[in-house]
Amino acid sequence: MKSGKEIFKSYFDNENLLELLDYFYEIHKNAPINLTAIKDYDDFYIKHYLDSLYIFKIYNLNFQLLIDIGSGGGFPGIPIALLYPDRNIILVESIKKKADFLRVATKELGLKNVEVINDRCENMRNIYPDFITARGVATVDKLFKWTRNVSRETKCFLFYKGEKVDEEIKNVQKFINKNDMRVEYVRMEEPFKRTYTIIYRNDYSLCPRKTD
């Protein structure tokens, strides 16, 4: 049976990325606060790292500035920043201790493309990301509401959801139609349980990656 890391490697065979993800695991292990219930190394590779990045293997998701709402222990924002070191990422986290951890982790990892904001995302102003992510933070209607001051240039929202996302989408269907947006669901392959919910404007091109 393949280990969690080997499964991850079958999707992202990139030694530099793997080295940095190993280091991020060590940073988590030595963190002064508890940031995740997942402690096992191979579980980390599947439940945090592969979960954060799998969708980027399915679609070529372009962005210049991505904001990760409620980044917590850095997911999905830090793995995305490690995968795309030439693109800008802002991690927004309302709890100071978690934001402090994110600052230390990004410094340790040498991530020059990441900024950490310690605030509620509702308070953000004058930052206009073209891409917004959130995993395990709030319902879709809340996420739209909370980010409305900064989302006027957002082409794509990527929400990491469970299977029962349809009800949440029904609650924002009017907003989606009014803004001429589309919804795409990508279910992670078995045995993983994840429904990536991509809500994007019609001028954003969602390009499937060629499987290699």
Ligand X SMILES: C[S@@+](CC[C@H](N)C(=O)[O-])C[C@H]1O[C@@H](n2cnc3c(N)ncnc32)[C@H](O)[C@@H]1O
Q: Which residues bind ligand X (CB under 6 A)?
A: 69-73, 75, 92-95, 98, 120-122, 135-137, 146
Q: For ligand X, which is the closer residue by CB, 192 or 202?
A: 192
Q: For ligand X, which is the closer residue by CB, 47 or 207?
A: 47
Interatomic CA distance for residues 206 and 202, integer angstroms:
9
CB 129 within 8 A of CB 98: no
CB of 202 to ligand X, least distance (A): 28
153 marked ligand binding residue? no
CB of 138 to ligand X, least distance (A): 6
Q: What secondary structure does DSSP assign to 63-90, as a single string?
A: -SEEEEET-TTTTTHHHHHHH-TTSEEE
CB of 205 to ligand X, least distance (A): 26
Q: Which residue has the tokens 């990045």?
A: 53
Interatomic CA distance for residues 167 and 171, integer angstroms:
7
Q: For ligand X, which is the closer residue by CB, 1 or 79?
A: 79
CB 58 within 8 A of CB 186: yes
135 marked ligand binding residue? yes
121 marked ligand binding residue? yes
156 marked ligand binding residue? no
Nearest to 111 by CA among 144, 79, 69, 140: 79
CB of 145 to ligand X, least distance (A): 10
CB within 8 Å of 147: residues ≥ 6 apart: 67, 69, 121, 124, 132, 154
101 marked ligand binding residue? no
Q: For ligand X, which is the closer residue by CB, 34 or 64?
A: 34
Q: Which residues are annotated as a binding site for S-adenosyl-L-methionine?
A: 70, 75, 121-122, 135
